[in-house]
């Protein structure tokens, strides 16, 4: 068994200090094996509530619970030695009050050992973000397309196509960026507006379906790896086609089993001779 790494993990402070310099590399992770595979290459790993759709087959993120996020946060923390780990506050665990948000964030950080939490929302979350950061909870914001609000936002769509949307995004960016968040995820936003937001706030911006001018980029790892056969968002670049690889491997395995080629002799245990 390998010895534990003595390397210090990146902190939220370090992530924010990368703004305007080295691009911040981020991906989602929900399991220990995936965290181990991604850790050396990522500055930040997000245990996103997208786990509900990616691993559980849920239609949206709104059914994800705090216990689910804690379980997956614990799994990811077992697999990291370098990356900063942020865990999503799920729908319903923080919107009621800043005190509720603090209790939920404390549970996540104490029970997982992660480095901070992420929450969705703009102007309406300013008091909550300030309350959390003043009490030692690093917060990553999330503006633009907000999956937890998909039912009231009219579905998954990009923002910034009219003056009303532009004005709202500008207000949200100023509010969240000035409330103490160390970083802000900018999702599903037209490129010029995302570029403007990045230049206008002190927090590091992490784009997903936004602008190459963001301080960092994030994708759902399973999207990037091509795990899904029938769906690819416009903003995703696939760096592998694991769905086909998995399907081909399963087909070969099934064929070997049905034709009794597996297990072969080298995969079975022989009777040991009795001791002398």
Cα atoms in the Cβ-side hemisphere of radius 13 Å centred on 137: 28
In this predicted structure, what is the pLDDT of residue 275?
85
Asked if pLDDT for residue 2 goes beyond 50, the answer is no
Asked if pLDDT for residue 121 goes beyond 80, the answer is yes
In this predicted structure, what is the pLDDT of residue 147?
86
Banded model confidence at residue 4, pLDDT cuts 50, 70, 90: very low
Asked if pLDDT for residue 126 goes beyond 50, the answer is yes
Specify the DSSP element, H or E, that contains 167: helix 163-177
Q: Which positions make up the binding site?
A: 49-50, 88, 118, 120
Asked if pLDDT for residue 7 goes beyond 90, the answer is no
CB atoms within 10 A of CB 13: 11
Query: How far is the C-alpha of 93 from the C-alpha of 106, rounded, in Å?
Result: 12
- Give the residue numbers annotated as catalytic, written as ranges: 187
Query: How far is the C-alpha of 220 from the C-alpha of 228, rounded, in Å?
Result: 11
Query: How far is the C-alpha of 189 from the C-alpha of 166, rounded, in Å?
Result: 10
Asked if pLDDT for residue 230 goes beyond 80, the answer is no
Burial class (CB in 10 A: 0-12, 13-18, 19+), 1: exposed
Q: Are 90 and 63 in contact (CB under 8 A)?
A: no
Q: Which positions make up the binding site for 3-methyl-2-oxobutanoate?
A: 49-50, 88, 118
In this predicted structure, what is the pLDDT of residue 272?
87
Query: How far is the C-alpha of 100 from the C-alpha of 203, rounded, in Å?
Result: 24
Please report the domains of the chain, with CATH numbers, ordered by start residue.
Answer: 12-241 (3.20.20.60)
Asked if pLDDT for residue 3 goes beyond 80, the answer is no
pLDDT in tens, 129-166: 999 999 999 999 999 999 888 766 556 667 667 999 99
């799920």: which residue's tokens?
90
pLDDT in tens, 162-201: 999 999 999 999 999 999 999 999 999 999 999 999 999 9
Task: Tell me which of 63 and 228 has the higher pLDDT.
Answer: 63
Q: Which residues contact 165 (CB under 8 A, 6 or more apart)?
A: 159
Nearest CA-CA partner of 124 in 96, 155, 99, 162: 96
Cα atoms in the Cβ-side hemisphere of radius 13 Å centred on 12: 22
Q: Which residues contact 87 (CB under 8 A, 6 or more apart)?
A: 46, 47, 69, 70, 72, 73, 108, 112, 114, 116, 117, 118
In this predicted structure, what is the pLDDT of residue 276?
82
Query: What is the average pLDDT across 243-256?
Result: 97
Radius of gyration of the chain (CA): 21
Query: What is the average pLDDT across 96-117?
Result: 98
Asked if pLDDT for residue 270 goes beyond 60, the answer is yes
In this predicted structure, what is the pLDDT of residue 11?
98
The beta strands (E) that lie in 124-202 are given as 139-144, 183-187
**Helix boundaries (H) for 45-123:** 51-54, 66-77, 98-112
Q: Of how many residues is the chain composed?
A: 276
In this predicted structure, what is the pLDDT of residue 266?
95
pLDDT in tens, 47-95: 999 999 999 999 999 999 999 999 999 999 999 999 999 999 999 999 9
Q: Strands 139-144 and 183-187, how do they pair?
A: parallel
In this predicted structure, what is the pLDDT of residue 155?
60
Query: How far is the C-alpha of 79 from the C-alpha of 37, rounded, in Å?
Result: 8
Average pLDDT of the chain is 93
- One-character DSSP codes across 80-100: -SSSEEEEEPPTTSSSS-HHH
Query: How far is the C-alpha of 122 from the C-alpha of 176, rounded, in Å?
Result: 6
Q: pTM for the complete prediction?
A: 0.93
């Amino acid at each position: 068994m390998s010895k534990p790494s003595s390397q210090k993990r990146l902190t939220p402070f370090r992530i924010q200090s990368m703004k305007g310099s080295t691009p911040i590399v981020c991906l989602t992770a929900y399991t220990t094996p995936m965290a181990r595979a991604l850790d050396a290459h990522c500055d930040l790993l997000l245990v996103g509530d997208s786990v509900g759709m990616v691993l559980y087959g849920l239609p949206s993120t709104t059914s994800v619970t705090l216990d689910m996020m804690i379980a997956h946060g614990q799994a990811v923390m077992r697999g990291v030695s370098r990356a900063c780990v942020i865990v999503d506050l799920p729908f319903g665990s923080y919107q009621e009050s800043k005190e509720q948000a603090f209790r939920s964030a404390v549970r996540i950080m104490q029970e997982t050992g992660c480095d901070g939490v992420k929450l969705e929302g703009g102007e309406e979350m300013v008091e909550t973000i300030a309350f959390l950061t003043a009490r030692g909870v690093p917060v990553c914001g999330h503006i633009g397309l907000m999956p937890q609000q998909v039912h009231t936002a009219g579905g998954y769509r990009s923002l910034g196509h009219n003056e009303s949307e532009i004005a709202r995004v500008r207000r949200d960016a100023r509010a969240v960026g000035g409330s103490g968040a160390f970083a802000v995820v900018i999702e599903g936003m037209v490129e010029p507006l995302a570029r403007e937001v990045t230049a206008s706030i002190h927090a590091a911006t992490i784009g997903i379906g936004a602008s190459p001018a963001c301080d960092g980029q994030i994708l759902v790892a399973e999207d990037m790896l091509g795990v899904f056969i029938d769906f690819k968002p416009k903003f995703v670049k696939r760096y592998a086609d694991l769905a086909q690889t998995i399907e081909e491997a399963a087909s070969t395995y099934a064929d070997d089993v049905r034709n009794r080629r597996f297990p072969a002799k080298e995969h079975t245990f022989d009777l040991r001779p009795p001791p002398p």
